[in-house]
Amino acid sequence: MRVLGIDPGLTRCGMGVVDGMVGRPLTLVDVNVLRTSSGLPVPERLVTIEKGIDAWLDEYRPDAVAVERVFARSDVSTVMGTAQASGIAMVCAARRGLPIALHTPSEVKAAVSGNGRADKAQVGAMVTRILRLDAPPKPADAADALALAITHIWRGGAQSRIDAALAAAGASTGSIPGRVRR
């Protein structure tokens, strides 16, 4: 499975592609950060992010896209930019019919480090170890994008198979006893 992890941001949007499957060593394909200037109008910055994400999707042809779920912080302007970049990432993937998974920061931290409250340095160190890299990816947005891809391979892929099996069972039996619909 090839996963494009996206750590959305209006100024720095982390992009990381990882190949692998559960129980096998994972491989770094590429990692980088899309940058936009804060001096540009937001619509232009979003177009730059869209073009960058589209280029990565065209070049690496991932099987799925994992995006960090936006969560509320005290600074509304930061949340807005992150949410806008996140929306662009989801639109780019949806346009291609790719599965999109949203993972919370604490879920990602727990998946790669075992600690949902790990700091940036711990996440970077674990990404380095998991992918057998010589040094942590810089800046932290790049490491976070890889951590998202790793999380999706380890957790999201399994969850999507479970969901598909449940959907198939529900389609053939009409419903699944005890399953709560959301």
DSSP string, the chain: -EEEEEE--SSEEEEEEEE--TTS--EEEEEEEEE--TTS-HHHHHHHHHHHHHHHHHHH--SEEEEEPP---S-HHHHHHHHHHHHHHHHHHHHTT--EEEE-HHHHHHHHHS-TT--HHHHHHHHHHHTT-SS--SSHHHHHHHHHHHHIIIIIHHHHHHHHHHHHHHHHHS--TTPPP-
**7 among the known binding-site residues?**
yes
**59 among the known binding-site residues?**
no
**Could you say which of 44, 50, 59, 141 is catalytic?**
141
**Could you say which of 54, 58, 68, 107 is catalytic?**
68
Whether 75 is catalytic: no
Whether 44 is catalytic: no
Whether 141 is catalytic: yes
**68 among the known binding-site residues?**
yes
Residues at the binding site for Mg(2+) are 7, 68, 141
Q: Known catalytic residues?
A: 7, 68, 141
